[in-house]
């Protein structure tokens, strides 16, 4: 998709409603990367193991790809990791930096840079963990994105990606609106392809990874149904492009009514609010070592001068 889909609008009005999913994804990934050590023989407590895990987290380097407003990056920083969040959209990066500023203990442990998921501006084997929560699913050329995630993750490191499932409510929003524009051309990629394990398997084919997937859910809540519809119609992303085309064709109000009906169908709130459970696919991929050797222990974030220049944007986005 085109990066200009993400210019303007108000992402946080919609996205903050599911941002807490990043906490769960990040906690799961960090636990899989640095599981608590077993107590030494004869020890009756796990205090040393807990301390060892905390020490490991302080040297863990995390990349959040398609960081958006930064929920996963900030969650990893709060857990003690050293974090870089990368995104193409300047407005979202400004929001992420603002949220990180002065928020102990994240202050100084997380930084945000401009970069493309198709050509990440980092050397091979730089990170212990590469994260993306509802981010890289919006980038074009998913096989190339997978290759980049593997390239920048050290052998033995982990890749964790959360993406909306095609049949879940979040995966049905764009098709519900898009059908008023007529059928999509055959072969048009969908962001929710990342919610299909078979697709993921084909993209990682030939790459040195082993992976597992499972479906998780996040409770999404808005003050009212009308508030949710307004938030989504103004949210940066492909939906706003569809809205512009439908407004030009004088069909937006019909599509908007269908969007409201979709939300109402899934509403689980027992008051005037809107609340629904959105399923997402969680991918955990372990990077192998076919022809590479582990790098030295990671001790901190690279300074700006140590990072390669960001390559020209190719149009990928996240969130």
- State pLDDT tens for residues 204-216: 999 999 999 999 9
Highest mean pLDDT among 94-108, 169-183, 230-244, 253-267: 253-267
How do residues 122-144 score in pLDDT, each as one tens digit? 999 999 999 999 999 999 999 99
Chain segment 85-121, per-residue pLDDT in tens: 999 999 999 999 999 987 777 767 899 999 999 999 9
- Report yes or no on 316 lying in a domain: no
**Apex CA 86: angle with CA 85 and CA 92, to 5°?**
90
**Whole-model pTM?**
0.84
Q: What is the DSSP string of 191-219?
A: GGGGG-HHHHHHHHTTSSEEEEEEEEEEE
Most confident listed range (48-57, 64-73, 101-110, 236-245): 64-73
CATH number, domain of 25, equals 3.40.50.150
Range(s) of the domain holding residue 203: 3-34+50-167+181-220+277-288
pLDDT category of residue 37 using cuts at 50, 70 and 90: very low
d(CA 100, CA 111): 8
Cα separation, 116 vs 148, whole angstroms = 10
The answer to whether 86 touches 113, Cβ cutoff 8 Å, is: yes
Domain count, the chain: 1
Give the confidence band of 3 by pLDDT, cuts at 50, 70, 90: low
272 part of a folded domain: no
Over residues 240-255, mean pLDDT: 92
Residue 87 lies in a domain: yes
262-296 per-position pLDDT tens digit: 999 999 999 999 999 999 999 999 999 754 433 33
Q: Is residue 9 part of a domain?
A: yes
Q: Is residue 297 assigned to a domain?
A: no
Copy the structure tokens of residue 310.
Answer: 């960001």
**Is 188 a member of any domain?**
yes
Whether 158 contacts 128, CB under 8 Å: yes
Are 273 and 224 spatial neighbours (Cβ–Cβ below 8 Å)?
A: yes
């Amino acid at each position: 998709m085109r990066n200009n889909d993400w210019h303007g609008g108000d992402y946080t009005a919609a996205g903050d409603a599911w941002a807490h999913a990043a906490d769960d994804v990040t906690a799961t990934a960090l636990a899989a990367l640095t599981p608590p050590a077993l107590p030494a023989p004869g020890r009756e407590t796990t205090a040393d193991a807990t301390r060892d895990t905390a020490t490991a987290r302080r040297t863990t380097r995390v990349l959040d790809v398609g960081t958006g407003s930064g929920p996963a990056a900030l969650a990893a920083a709060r857990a003690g990791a050293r974090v870089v969040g990368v995104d193409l959209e300047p407005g979202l990066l400004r929001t992420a930096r603002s949220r990180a500023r002065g928020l102990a203990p994240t202050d100084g442990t997380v930084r945000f840079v401009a970069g493309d998921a198709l050509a990440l501006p980092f050397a091979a084997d730089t990170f212990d963990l590469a994260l993306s929560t509802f981010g890289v699913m919006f980038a074009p050329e998913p096989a190339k994105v997978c290759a980049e995630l593997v390239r920048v993750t050290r052998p033995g490191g982990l890749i964790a990606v959360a993406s909306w499932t095609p049949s879940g409510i979040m995966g049905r929003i764009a098709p519900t609106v898009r059908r008023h524009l007529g059928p999509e051309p055959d072969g048009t990629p969908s962001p929710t392809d990342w919610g299909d394990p078979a697709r993921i398997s084909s993209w990682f084919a030939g790459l040195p990874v082993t992976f597992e997937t499972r479906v998780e859910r996040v409770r999404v809540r808005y003050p009212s149904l009308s508030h949710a519809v307004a938030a989504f119609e103004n949210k940066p992303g492909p939906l706003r492009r569809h809205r512009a085309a439908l407004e030009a064709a004088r069909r937006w109000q019909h599509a908007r009514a269908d969007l409201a009906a979709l939300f109402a169908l899934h509403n689980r709130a027992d008051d005037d609010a809107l609340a629904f459970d959105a399923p997402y696919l969680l991918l955990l991929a372990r990077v192998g070592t076919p022809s590479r050797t582990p790098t030295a222990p990671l001790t901190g974030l690279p300074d700006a001068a140590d990072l390669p220049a960001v390559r020209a944007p190719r149009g990928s986005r996240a969130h």
